Chains A and B, each alone.
Chain A
Amino acid sequence: MERATQLAVPLGQTEVFQALQRLHMTIFSQSVSPCGKFLAAGNNYGQIAIFSLSAALSSEAKEESKKPVVTFQAHDGPVYSMVSTDRHLLSAGDGEVKAWLWAEILKKGCKEVWRRQPPYRTSLEVPEINALLLVPKENSLILAGGDCQLHAMDLETGTFTRALRGHTDYIHCLALRERSPEVLSGGEDGAVRLWDLRTAKEAQTIEVYKHEECSRPHNGRWIGCLATDSDWMVCGGGPALTLWHLRSSTPTTIFPMRAPQKHVTFYQDLVLTSAGNSCRVDVFTNLGYRAFSLSF
């Protein structure tokens, strides 16, 4: 939140509206450009803003450097997830995935290079796409979201090759297990499912909420975030943030966090996690204790 002083500038209709929009804005996704100089962020109004990291982090950064270089309306609905390939920025939200060229994105009036909609079963409501996952070995993109399926799309041809069904409620997050190309998906139904990409079948299912140590019924059973390190997996959400050993499908460590987790990543040997409604990024070691917190 900006620490703005009481504005003396008279606020007309547009200024008030913009201020209100900013107050109610949520940024759902972000992605760094392949060159590392730019950061793309997607918000709940469907806009994507490109920030210049090099300008904002330089020593002569002014207020204007912290504003986006360009902002454009990418989707009609919120932009729930974004990934970057080496040339494209892929954004997905309200049922469609669009691709933008990083080289062109800074110009005004940038148009998407292509857009794709996975084949959905229902037509009453367009399901959202909550997670995008790049599988570099196969050069394909995995989408998962509101229709409880994982769709795999070939990035060369743009066709949807597989649809992996199994979740009973919508999917929140995806993670890639690199060694054996497997995709983990966590969803609203409280289960983490592992999918084998070659056979397109569900390999393993972990129903997190059924484990008493980590379940927190008052929060629900949904799995909001997943991270995997091939052998290990961390997931959290409604249930507590837990570290699982994948082979044995047993929870090993439960991290003592109260709030439901939204994001988690492995970093070297540490687990970094943040909740959506606090200003802290907690850093844990594998042994389960909170080493320290990064705070906004």
Chain B
Amino acid sequence: MSTESSKKRKPKVIRSDGTPTEGKRNRSDTEQEGRYYSEEAEVDLRDPGRDYELYKYTCQELQRLMAEIQDLKSRGGKDAAIEIEERRIQSCVHFMTLKKLNRLAHIRLKKGRDQTHEAKQKVDAYHLQLQNLLYEVMHLQKEITKCLEFKSKHEEIDLVSLEEFYKEAPTDISKAEVTMGDPHQQTLARLDWELEQRKRLAEKYRECLSNKEKILKEIEVKKEYLSSLQPRLNSIMQASLPVQEYLFMPFDQAHKQYETARHLPPPLYVLFVQATAYGQACDKTLSVAIEGSVDEAKALFKPPDDSQDDESDSDAEEEQTTKRRRPTLGVQLDDKRKEMLKRHPLSVMVDLKCKDDSVLHLTFYYLMNLNILTVKAKVTTATELITPISAGDLLSPDSVLSCLYPGDHGKKTPNPANQYQFDKVGILTLRDYVLDLGHPYLWVQKLGGLHFPKEQPQHTVIADHSLSASHMETTMKLLKTRVQSRLALHKQFASLEHGIVPVTSDCQYLFPAKVVSRLVKWVTIVHEDYMELHYTKDIVEAGLAGDTNLYYLALIERGTAKLQAAVVLNPGYSSIPPIFQLCLNWKGEKTNSNDDNIRAMESEVNVCYKELCGPRPSHQLLTNQLQRLCVLLDVYLETESHDDSVEGPKEFPQEKMCLRLFRGPSRMKPFKYNHPQGFFSHR
């Protein structure tokens, strides 16, 4: 604004108030090239201070004039107008001065500003330059620092130590003369050597890699070869099966068995192992097999977490169901019982073959919750057996193995801990379930290595191989003798029921050639009936007539004499002899309580049984005893002293040769038969 106004005002020379603007313009145009009054130059000449004083004076004058004008105007008058006019002209001059001063002031200001502006610009330019330079300096400094900090990669490399370097590096690299003095060269040389070494090593590495590849390929080839071998071996095994069978070495079968055996519970496993070992080592007639479902066995073996969850779930379910359906409580108890008596799905089958081709089949089961083993037995013979009526119980599966060892009747659980378990589910005794589950004989537990001490129940009874092994042989032998003696009895009973006492030829020497008394009846009786007989009280009181024995009644007759014999057959026949009790009906009833001779006859068969055992395995004991009874009855009847007071001949003439009829204070009859002389004497 001031610059424009200065440009406009430049050509102006004089100015007054109220001059028309056209006039100013014209003057400015015409006087532009001509006289050129530079007020700027005037500014430089005048002194600002004096101008300021002038300004102040002018203002004062103006004030004074104004004041005078005012006075004059207020007083009024004629000369006032001239005075006023004069003063007006003076004030206009003063106004003009003021304007000039104002202009000058403006010009000065403008100048001042321009100068300041220029200076400022210069300063700014310098400042900018300074900053640029500073910036550059900084940049350069940074670069310098960077350069100074620069770590060459070569310093990260662990170079070999100097001594080694000089030792190992070839001289064209190490250049000792040069490098010793100059560390830079030394470092370079070392780096060279490093490079050299690395190249060599890289070479080696490549070689090794290629080697490895080769070897891997070889391995692959061999693996394939081996894997192709497996199916071939299998086919050979298959092909060799017939050969195995022919040579009686069933390896394959055995191998499969061992596989299955891994899933057996420990007691059955012990039994299996020991039985197989015994069969292979000592007894070729024993064969062992595993039956049952392996998958079920595997399914039993769940991990503990799952089974716990299942248990808790099923418990929760059970609780819910009991709340909802009360009537099924009995069913639940039944289920719990079934659960407790559950058998392991796998069982071990042992077959014992006897000399006469009869086989004893034993199936061993393991009751998981009760931790006991049970066994079911079956006897099969080579030929079909016609069972005589009295032999019904001899080979029945329930009783054929009863009392294999004395007192082992197999009706009670051998594990004392089971009693507490039974109480929970309301089972009184295992006897009710043995038909279904098998008998828990003590020898079965021992064969499975389970040993139950009699007093305290033990929580964990583990299967022990040594216990099983020590019992295996005895038990197997006992089983065989048991089966054979039962079969022998079976045959004998068939004959006895027909009234014939089957005495084998090698036992004939025990008896005289002529035996007149005959066996008329042979029947089986039950235990209670035996206890009821009046002449068996002694045996009952001596505890020899338990409920595990078998009881029979035999009737021997000669003429009018009838001899009744009640027989107790112990399951342990023939090592434990049958026991006879006699009752003779002839001229009155004579038993061991009123006739010593009857007692002597009983003694002859009961106590002196060892003579009657016959050749081993002493299956002839019972028949020999019966035959002896016939002989004894003969002797008794024939040696009865004749009563002179009674008329008539003796009913039984004496045919036996006896040295003396009576001996000893008890006046015994001669019951002992002497072979081969054939006479009777006393013991």
List residues of A whose CB falls within 8 A of some B CB: 1-7, 9-13, 15-17, 19-24, 26, 28, 77-78, 80, 124-125, 128, 130, 146, 170, 172-173, 188, 217-218, 220, 222, 224, 262, 276-277
Query: How many angstroms from the CA of A215 to the CA of B590 in the assembled complex?
Result: 23
Query: How many angstroms from the CA of A231 to the CA of B104 in the assembled complex?
Result: 208
Q: Does A28 contact B665, Cβ atoms closer than 8 Å?
A: yes
Q: Does A146 contact B663, Cβ atoms closer than 8 Å?
A: yes
Q: Does A20 contact B644, Cβ atoms closer than 8 Å?
A: no
Q: Does B665 contact A124, Cβ atoms closer than 8 Å?
A: no
Q: Does A13 contact B665, Cβ atoms closer than 8 Å?
A: no
Extra pairs beyond A11-B406, A222-B662, A277-B593 (6, CB < 8 Å)? A12-B576, A20-B577, A23-B539, A26-B596, A217-B644, A218-B645
In the complex with contacts A16-B570, A28-B666, A7-B607 CB distance below 8 A: no
Q: Tell whether B606 is near chain A: CB-to-CB under 8 Å.
A: yes
| 5 contacts across the A-B interface (CB closer than 8 A) | A4-B541, A12-B576, A16-B544, A26-B596, A222-B662
Query: How many angstroms from the CA of A173 to the CA of B682 in the assembled complex?
Result: 19
Residues from chain B with Cβ under 8 Å of A130 in the complex: 664-665
List residues of B whose CB falls within 8 A of some A CB: 403, 405-408, 538-539, 541-544, 546, 570, 572, 575-577, 579, 593-596, 599, 602-603, 606-607, 641, 643-645, 659-660, 662-667, 681-683
Q: Does A24 contact B543, Cβ atoms closer than 8 Å?
A: no
Residues from chain A with Cβ under 8 Å of B682 in the complex: 128
Q: Does B546 contact A6, Cβ atoms closer than 8 Å?
A: yes
Q: Does B606 contact A24, Cβ atoms closer than 8 Å?
A: yes
Q: Does A11 contact B663, Cβ atoms closer than 8 Å?
A: no
Query: How many angstroms from the CA of A23 to the CA of B541 in the assembled complex?
Result: 10
Q: Which of A28, A124, A217 contacts B645 (CB 8 A)?
A: A217
Q: Does A172 contact B607, Cβ atoms closer than 8 Å?
A: no
Q: Does B662 contact A170, Cβ atoms closer than 8 Å?
A: yes
In the complex with contacts A125-B660, A217-B644, A13-B576 CB distance below 8 A: yes
Beta-carbon nearest neighbor of A26 in chain B:
B666
Q: Which of B643, B645, B663 contacts A170 (CB 8 A)?
A: B663
Q: Which of A5, A12, A78 contacts B406 (CB 8 A)?
A: A12
In the complex with contacts A24-B603, A77-B683, A128-B664, A10-B659 CB distance below 8 A: no
Residues from chain A with Cβ under 8 Å of B570 in the complex: 16
Q: Does B599 contact A10, Cβ atoms closer than 8 Å?
A: no
Q: Does A146 contact B575, Cβ atoms closer than 8 Å?
A: no
Residues from chain B with Cβ under 8 Å of A224 in the complex: 665, 667
In this complex, which of B542, B570, B602, B660 has the most chain A Cβ atoms within 10 angstroms of its Cβ? B542
In the complex with contacts A125-B660, A217-B643, A9-B407 CB distance below 8 A: yes
Beta-carbon nearest neighbor of A131 in chain B:
B665
Query: How many angstroms from the CA of A276 to the CA of B572 in the assembled complex?
Result: 35
In the complex with contacts A124-B659, A125-B659, A4-B665 CB distance below 8 A: no
Q: Which of B579, B594, B602, B660 contacts A277 (CB 8 A)?
A: B594
Q: Does B603 contact A19, Cβ atoms closer than 8 Å?
A: no
Query: 8 closest pairs, A vs B, by CB?
Result: A10-B407, A7-B543, A10-B406, A24-B603, A12-B406, A217-B645, A20-B606, A19-B542
Q: Which of B406, B544, B660 contacts A19 (CB 8 A)?
A: B544
Residues from chain A with Cβ under 8 Å of B660 in the complex: 125, 146, 170
Residues from chain A with Cβ under 8 Å of B593 in the complex: 277
Residues from chain B with Cβ under 8 Å of A9 in the complex: 407
Q: Which of B405, B542, B576, B663 contacts A128 (CB 8 A)?
A: B663
Residues from chain B with Cβ under 8 Å of A11 in the complex: 406-407, 543-544, 576
Q: Does A20 contact B645, Cβ atoms closer than 8 Å?
A: no
A279 CB, nearest partner CB in chain B, Å: 11
In the complex with contacts A1-B538, A125-B681, A277-B596, A78-B664 CB distance below 8 A: yes
Query: How many angstroms from the CA of A80 to the CA of B596 in the assembled complex?
Result: 15
Residues from chain B with Cβ under 8 Å of A10 in the complex: 403, 405-408
A6 CB, nearest partner CB in chain B, Å: 5
Q: Does B607 contact A80, Cβ atoms closer than 8 Å?
A: no
A95 CB, nearest partner CB in chain B, Å: 11
In the complex with contacts A125-B659, A125-B681, A276-B596 CB distance below 8 A: yes
Q: Does A20 contact B406, Cβ atoms closer than 8 Å?
A: no
Query: How many angstroms from the CA of A10 to the CA of B607 in the assembled complex?
Result: 20
Residues from chain B with Cβ under 8 Å of A5 in the complex: 543
B445 CB, nearest partner CB in chain A, Å: 16
Query: How many angstroms from the CA of A11 to the CA of B405 in the assembled complex?
Result: 9
In the complex with contacts A7-B543, A125-B681, A20-B607 CB distance below 8 A: yes
Residues from chain A with Cβ under 8 Å of B406 in the complex: 10-13, 15
Q: Does B662 contact A4, Cβ atoms closer than 8 Å?
A: no
In the complex with contacts A217-B643, A218-B643, A4-B606 CB distance below 8 A: no
In the complex with contacts A4-B543, A11-B407, A217-B644, A20-B665 CB distance below 8 A: no
A132 CB, nearest partner CB in chain B, Å: 12
Residues from chain A with Cβ under 8 Å of B594 in the complex: 277
Residues from chain A with Cβ under 8 Å of B572 in the complex: 12-13
B168 CB, nearest partner CB in chain A, Å: 94
Query: How many angstroms from the CA of A196 to the CA of B345 in the assembled complex?
Result: 92
A58 CB, nearest partner CB in chain B, Å: 28
Beta-carbon nearest neighbor of B667 in chain A:
A222
Query: How many angstroms from the CA of A276 to the CA of B599 in the assembled complex?
Result: 13
Residues from chain A with Cβ under 8 Å of B579 in the complex: 16, 20
B270 CB, nearest partner CB in chain A, Å: 25
Q: Does B607 contact A21, Cβ atoms closer than 8 Å?
A: yes
Residues from chain A with Cβ under 8 Å of B595 in the complex: 277
Query: How many angstroms from the CA of A20 to the CA of B543 in the assembled complex?
Result: 11
Q: Which of A1, A16, A19, A80 contacts B665 (CB 8 A)?
A: A80
Residues from chain A with Cβ under 8 Å of B665 in the complex: 28, 80, 130, 172-173, 224, 262
Query: How many angstroms from the CA of A78 to the CA of B683 in the assembled complex?
Result: 8
Q: Which of A3, A6, A16 contacts B576 (CB 8 A)?
A: A16
Beta-carbon nearest neighbor of A277 in chain B:
B594
B653 CB, nearest partner CB in chain A, Å: 19
Query: How many angstroms from the CA of A146 to the CA of B662 in the assembled complex?
Result: 9
A213 CB, nearest partner CB in chain B, Å: 15
Query: How many angstroms from the CA of A254 to the CA of B266 in the assembled complex?
Result: 81
B397 CB, nearest partner CB in chain A, Å: 22
Q: Does B607 contact A6, Cβ atoms closer than 8 Å?
A: no
B111 CB, nearest partner CB in chain A, Å: 148
Query: How many angstroms from the CA of A20 to the CA of B603 in the assembled complex?
Result: 8
Beta-carbon nearest neighbor of A81 in chain B:
B665
Query: How many angstroms from the CA of A17 to the CA of B407 in the assembled complex?
Result: 16
